[in-house]
Structure 1
Amino acid sequence: MRKTTAKPKHTWQILVIIITVVILGLNAIPTLYGNNNALLVSGVNSTQPLPSIQQLRDVMLQQNIQVKQIINGDADSKIVIDGDDEALVHAQQQLKSELGDDYQVRLGNQSAAPKWLQELGMSPIKLGLDLSGGVLFVLEVDTDRADQERLANAKDETLQIIHDHGLRGMSVKMAGTENNLVSKADVTTKNPVAQTETEGKLDLHFLSHQAAKVKAVVTDLQQRLPGITYSKTGERSATLAFSEQSITTFHHEIMAQALTTLRGRIEELGITEAVTQRQGQSRIRIELPGVKDPEQAKRIIGATASLDFYEMANSGTMGAKSFTDEDGRHLRVAPKPIFTGSNIENANSGRDEMGIALVNLTLDGIGGKKMSEFSRDNIGNPMVTIFSEYHKNSADEMIKNSRVISVATIQSQLGNRFSITGLDSPQAASDLALLLRAGSLDAPITIVQQRTIQASLGKENVNNGIMALAIGLGITLVFMGLWYRKLGLIANTSLVLNLVCLLGLMALLPNVVLTLPGIAGLVLTVGMAVDTNVLIFERIKEERKRGRSNFLAIETGYKEAFATILDANVTTMITALILLSIGYGPVKGFAMTLSLGILTSMFTGVFVAHVLTYIVKPQIAVKQKELKA
């Protein structure tokens, strides 16, 4: 009997299958090993030398903590320990006390896969919050407060323009208030109806002979603040307000800026599997899987901090702001800052010659130009640095707290690099540098929900999910093998390859996170992959009943079933993409797994199974000829 081989035209298909399966298979292997607990040690100052490996090992041995591995990197040292989360937290406390304030010790993990796989850049699948444990935050962005701040800035701009034009007797104040110190809550209590009508407006008052000059003031203001509208309300009064379109656009910008800033802060914390997305009109959902120190995350993520640099105001400055420093001195600064935290490009904590904590700043092009021009013209004059943050008082009201952190005399012309001194501690300097690197928030945020999921619960979810997947896969393999015999063997091979490819693809892609509903997606993918083979094999059986040969029945079966398979998978993919775009948390995890599962099941169920059938079918044909003979 002549030995049969695959035709040359299928050689490239076999090579594609081998290369794809090998690459994705290697990426799937680290998931079987999982992760080990680890501690990340880094200096508060970026120039601080890291502790030696022997020093770290000695500290761990003194506390009877078993160390698997210590990896020294460029920015931090990673200590991989043998123990659970309780042992990890204990090790963190010991390291903090031994190393002091000059070093930060953070909780993390390290792949338990063999070293050669790690060197190839392969890591386990990132687990979601419900599988690895961690912290969930839901934040509320206070867009109303942002609107108030924006309107207050518009008032300061208007006062400055009035001063520049020399229009004595013309004034502007917040509408619906007797003076600028009345809060929004006060106005609401006094007259809710009047507050609704006047909210978000500025009252402009002028003398009779100044009516013709108001237009010039408004024109200058609209050039500086696009979106401002002007409405005359009387002979000597008018209102200024932002248009509805401008307010809507501003709210979208505020939410986009908040999302960008929070993602930057999470990256600074070294959390790579976090999920940060908008939830509703003004809320942001943050999932931090694997986080074992929720207080540190809460301190950084929930901070609404900004930094502004002001020149001292003289006696004739209109709209000057007043602050009190730590020594009790009253300082009056210009209404507008020289530049703000948005101009800060980079920030690193450090120490000066006396060992006092400081933050080294690098400004962008615009900020560097403003700083250079201001310092050139103000040598010998002071510059005031104001740090502002929001917090809730005992009445659950959002309060803005601003404090002076530096009053420095300019000694020479400065560029885009300088330092902030006078900080309380290295930790305060490190936190401030982190916030400035990640960006400040224009609108205050409030943590409205915080939930911690223990790692033990996540481990139980993983075990239950794997058990469900194993049972479903086992029953499917047995059924296909008994019902379709040799073709069932092909289906089972493609099914196993499908699961391997899907796990490898999820580990390979950077933003894919496996959640508990995602495991349900894996089980569903198994069923969909089998459905593909069932459609093909049943079509082959129909062709055989019509009297066609095995060769022709198999070719026709794959060809005719493909359109049905494609339609079914495309419609499912559309649904998965919709869930992926509008869903969050568990829903998004399910949609992601389902989407990738459709791609891999199409690859293995049609492409791989077809090639395997083509390789096996000559043997089927020869067997049938022998039976006929």
Structure 2
Amino acid sequence: MVALVVAFGVIYALPNIYGDDPAVQISATRAHPMGLAQVDQIQKDLKNDHINARSVVLSDHQILVRLRKDSDQIKTRDLLKNKLGDGYVVALNLAPATPEWLKMIGGAPLKLGLDLRGGVHFLMEVDMKAAVAKAREQMVQDFRSDLRDQNIRYAGVRIDVNRGVVVRFRDSDMRSKAEDYLSSHYRGRYQFAESSINNAPVLIAKMTDRELNETREYALQQNITIIRNRINELGVAQPVVQRQGDDQIVVELPGIQDTARAKEILGATATLQFRMVNTNVDPSQLASGHVPPGSELFYRSNGQPIALYKQIVLTGNHIVGAKTAFDQYNQPQVNIDLDSQGGSRMAAVTRTNIGKPMATLFIEYKPTHKKDAKGKTIFKKHTEVINVATIQSRLGRSFRITGLGSQSEAQNLALLLRAGALIAPIQIVEERTIGPSLGQENINRGIEAIAVGLIALLIFMPLYYRKFGMVANLALVCNVILIIGIMSLIPGATLTLPGMAGIVLTVGMAVDSNVLIFERIREEMREGRSIQQSIHYGYSNALSSIADSNITTFLTSVILFSIGTGAVKGFAVTLGIGILTSMFTAIIGTRTVVNLIWGGRRRLKKLSI
């Protein structure tokens, strides 16, 4: 059993020997292709610039350039950014050099924290103007729905940038009824005032200061939650996502394997709208940009214009699940699951519109090169009709979206919908990449600390406990191997600089356990017991003391992991795993070796301890 456990630890610790290759990763935005033509072009660009790449590989619609030297990383990234342009995301990366046979059995190198492995630090800024604008759009939808439900006739509801939301009426009586109802229904949230525009009675609604503050606060907190969800989808271990100031979010991704995709996914503000198609529009009018009142002009991916009704059937806020699949023609699709409210609304609309087309509108906000008066980046709203389908029957809480360009596009759309749409657009205002040199320096210092402590113990134990000290040294080495093997195997475990301190501590505790056992064996021998009895009683009598101290320390590590964050959690993880492995190696492991050498029915007159 001991041999199998140690062999298990050795196999899963092996990937750490091979290390990582410095790499640059390239992924494309929605509108740009990614194929073998780009691979050939990148290889030519690198060769022309005298950069010797280990390999250029296309995998999962992304290109990974493995380099031979760390110094070529920054140079390669800058070169490819200039050559490829804005349609591609180019980011630094570290690619594991683990052999295929180890990958096949689940072997992977230890995930290192930002202070060791390096990684990416993002400072993201939330566009609060867009958050307020989105809240006003929701006001328009709510007012229309409420007035229809109360049979209050109105001429139109629109957003005025300077005034707020303007509701126009044909007579003053309807305006008074609307004001009485809306002011009581939204008491404390909106301020209402009567006015007139072109001799038509209107009602102007503005957000109160409290509502504005709550809208901004909600946008920031909800974006933090959604970013965490997206990072979980990316599989990043122990990320840091925290608020900074009134409109900024700090994101740290230690040891991330896919920085290019992380930038694309974290910054994407994507959602869906489902709208009915207006089929009563002359194509020539659409081509000239004219649409009837109550409709809006949009475009499909092929540039074809289409008229959609302004009334939104459903938004992406009601989506609770999204998975990719293939249809009967082997084309990618996204299967959508709605919440109960969204399912009821979809069922009500589709029940009365069987045989009519419904469009899926994809909406995302992209940063432009323009700045506002405060120096903040201005976002531009991009819309695209990705799917138009005829309603064949009443839809419920589950349906599908087809007509997507590629499997990669379907996967990204499903991920964004599953993790949630950002309440307001965000942009990366600061990006710091902790490169291999700084991370390697911390690794070297941590390894030096562990090595110094381990070597000191390896020298001391044989000098003081002779052959039994050599057995303890064997257990120490196995303990370190098991810690590294187990942490490499656990998906969420990350080694940080404090985590290395936890390894040093557990090495000391493992020696402490052996010291207790060996001293009890000496005591039993001084009391006149035989060597076999002394070994037996030495292990059994020391067990209670060892278990007592280790269990209390393990409980401490559990508490630290539960309430701690960042570096504290990293320390707690290695401490907890180290305690479990040290008890196994110091008690069961050494006892196995001692029984193998000094056990059996042999009569021993002297013990080397």
Same fold (TM over 0.5): yes
Contact 1:309 1:386 in 2 (8 A): no
Kindly provide the amino acid, as one letter, of the partner of residue 230 in structure 2.
T
Distance 1:557 1:340, change over 3 A: same
Shift of 1:417: 2.8
1:377 is matched with which residue? Answer: 353
Paired with 1:116 and 1:361, the residues of 2 have a C-alpha distance of 34
Q: Within 5 A, what are the aligned runs for 1:175-214?
A: 179-180=164-165
Paired with 1:592 and 1:440, the residues of 2 have a C-alpha distance of 33
Paired with 1:64 and 1:303, the residues of 2 have a C-alpha distance of 35
Contact 1:379 1:413 in 2 (8 A): yes
Q: Within 5 A, what are the aligned runs for 1:415-434?
A: 416-419=400-403
**Which residue of the other structure, out of 314, 334, 342, is the alignment partner of 1:362?**
334
Shift of 1:442: 2.9
**Which residue of the other structure, out of 207, 224, 229, is the alignment partner of 1:260?**
229
Paired with 2:178 and 2:535, the residues of 1 have a C-alpha distance of 95
Distance 1:140 1:534, change over 3 A: farther
Q: Does 2:472 correspond to 1:491?
A: yes
Kindly provide the amino acid, as one letter, of the partner of residue 421 in structure 2.
S
**Which residue of the other structure, out of 363, 367, 374, is the alignment partner of 1:395?**
374
After superposing the two structures, state which structure 1 stretch, 16-25 or 366-375, moved more: 366-375
Contact 1:145 1:443 in 2 (8 A): yes
2:267 is matched with which residue? Answer: 302
Paired with 2:28 and 2:260, the residues of 1 have a C-alpha distance of 20
Kindly provide the amino acid, as one letter, of the partner of residue 276 in structure 1.
P
Q: Per the alignment, in what secondary structure is the counterpart of residue 21 of structure 2?
A: strand
Paired with 1:65 and 1:251, the residues of 2 have a C-alpha distance of 43
Q: Does 2:9 correspond to 1:28?
A: no
2:315 is matched with which residue? Answer: 339
Distance 1:323 1:412, change over 3 A: closer
Q: Does 2:566 correspond to 1:585?
A: yes
Q: Does 2:66 correspond to 1:80?
A: yes
1:602 is matched with which residue? Answer: 583
Distance 1:69 1:115, change over 3 A: farther
Q: Per the alignment, in what secondary structure is the counterpart of residue 37 of structure 1?
A: strand
Shift of 1:613: 2.1
2:529 is matched with which residue? Answer: 548
Q: Per the alignment, in what secondary structure is the counterpart of residue 513 of structure 1?
A: coil
After superposing the two structures, state which structure 1 stretch, 291-300 or 112-121, moved more: 291-300
Shift of 1:407: 10
Once the two structures are superposed, residues 420-445 of structure 1 have per-residue CA deviations (whole angstroms, 9 ceiling, x without a partner) of 89xxxxx9999878755754223555
Paired with 1:411 and 1:626, the residues of 2 have a C-alpha distance of 88
Kindly provide the amino acid, as one letter, of the partner of residue 72 in structure 2.
E
Q: Per the alignment, in what secondary structure is the counterpart of residue 127 of structure 1?
A: coil
Equivalent residue pairs, number? 548
Q: Does 2:552 correspond to 1:571?
A: yes
Distance 1:493 1:321, change over 3 A: farther
Distance 1:284 1:135, change over 3 A: same
**Which residue of the other structure, out of 451, 456, 462, is the alignment partner of 2:437?**
456
Distance 1:623 1:140, change over 3 A: farther
Once the two structures are superposed, residues 255-300 of structure 1 have per-residue CA deviations (whole angstroms, 9 ceiling, x without a partner) of 5444213433xx2xxxx54533554799865322356997875554
Gaps in structure 2 of 5+ consecutive residues: 167-173, 192-206, 280-292, 326-330, 394-398
Shift of 1:134: 2.1
Contact 2:124 2:249 in 1 (8 A): yes
Shift of 1:520: 1.6
Q: Per the alignment, in what secondary structure is the counterpart of residue 84 of structure 1?
A: coil
**Which residue of the other structure, out of 145, 152, 162, is the alignment partner of 1:160?**
145
Shift of 1:625: 6.4
Q: Does 2:219 correspond to 1:288?
A: no
After superposing the two structures, state which structure 1 stretch, 251-260 or 76-85, moved more: 251-260
Distance 1:475 1:598, change over 3 A: same
Q: Per the alignment, in what secondary structure is the counterpart of residue 624 of structure 1?
A: coil
Paired with 1:483 and 1:277, the residues of 2 have a C-alpha distance of 46
Contact 2:27 2:261 in 1 (8 A): no
Contact 2:24 2:73 in 1 (8 A): no
Distance 1:471 1:90, change over 3 A: same
Shift of 1:470: 0.8
Contact 1:131 1:458 in 2 (8 A): yes
Shift of 1:169: 8.9
Q: Within 5 A, what are the aligned runs for 1:116-131?
A: 116-131=101-116
Q: Per the alignment, in what secondary structure is the counterpart of residue 490 of structure 1?
A: helix
Shift of 1:52: 8.7
1:236 is matched with which residue? Answer: none
Q: Per the alignment, in what secondary structure is the counterpart of residue 423 of structure 2?
A: coil
Kindly provide the amino acid, as one letter, of the partner of residue 592 in structure 1.
V
1:480 is matched with which residue? Answer: 461
Q: Per the alignment, in what secondary structure is the counterpart of residue 338 of structure 1?
A: strand
Contact 2:39 2:57 in 1 (8 A): no
After superposing the two structures, state which structure 1 stretch, 19-28 or 158-167, moved more: 158-167
Distance 1:180 1:153, change over 3 A: same
Kindly provide the amino acid, as one letter, of the partner of residue 479 in structure 1.
F
Paired with 1:430 and 1:626, the residues of 2 have a C-alpha distance of 66
Once the two structures are superposed, residues 192-218 of structure 1 have per-residue CA deviations (whole angstroms, 9 ceiling, x without a partner) of xxxxxxxxxxxxx9968999x99xx97
Kindly provide the amino acid, as one letter, of the partner of residue 526 in structure 1.
V
Paired with 2:581 and 2:473, the residues of 1 have a C-alpha distance of 14
Q: Does 2:96 correspond to 1:111?
A: yes
Shift of 1:22: 0.5
Distance 1:449 1:494, change over 3 A: same
Once the two structures are superposed, residues 143-176 of structure 1 have per-residue CA deviations (whole angstroms, 9 ceiling, x without a partner) of 99979966974674354133123145999999xx
Kindly provide the amino acid, as one letter, of the partner of residue 607 in structure 1.
I
Paired with 1:51 and 1:438, the residues of 2 have a C-alpha distance of 31
The percentage of counterpart residues that share the same residue type is: 32
Distance 1:256 1:105, change over 3 A: closer
Contact 1:128 1:513 in 2 (8 A): yes
Paired with 1:503 and 1:51, the residues of 2 have a C-alpha distance of 38
Shift of 1:370: 3.7
Contact 2:27 2:260 in 1 (8 A): no
After superposing the two structures, state which structure 1 stretch, 366-375 or 134-143, moved more: 366-375
Once the two structures are superposed, residues 348-398 of structure 1 have per-residue CA deviations (whole angstroms, 9 ceiling, x without a partner) of 9xxxxxxxxxx9763514489949955983978895847354979443789
Indicate the RMSD between aligned Cα atoms, in angstroms.
5.8
Q: Per the alignment, in what secondary structure is the counterpart of residue 514 of structure 1?
A: coil
After superposing the two structures, state which structure 1 stretch, 368-377 or 520-529, moved more: 368-377
Shift of 1:594: 1.3
Contact 1:41 1:76 in 2 (8 A): yes
Kindly provide the amino acid, as one letter, of the partner of residue 334 in structure 2.
T
Shift of 1:499: 0.6
Paired with 1:131 and 1:291, the residues of 2 have a C-alpha distance of 12
Q: Within 5 A, what are the aligned runs for 1:267-278?
A: 267=234, 272-277=235-240
TM-score w.r.t. the length of structure 2 is 0.69
Kindly provide the amino acid, as one letter, of the partner of residue 86 in structure 1.
D
Distance 1:80 1:563, change over 3 A: same
2:505 is matched with which residue? Answer: 524
Q: Per the alignment, in what secondary structure is the counterpart of residue 22 of structure 2?
A: strand
Paired with 1:397 and 1:113, the residues of 2 have a C-alpha distance of 43
Once the two structures are superposed, residues 38-86 of structure 1 have per-residue CA deviations (whole angstroms, 9 ceiling, x without a partner) of 4556777899784299958963555544444566656556553322252
Gaps in structure 1 of 5+ consecutive residues: 1-15, 182-204, 219-227, 234-238, 315-319, 349-358, 422-426
2:170 is matched with which residue? Answer: none
2:290 is matched with which residue? Answer: none
Distance 1:323 1:587, change over 3 A: farther
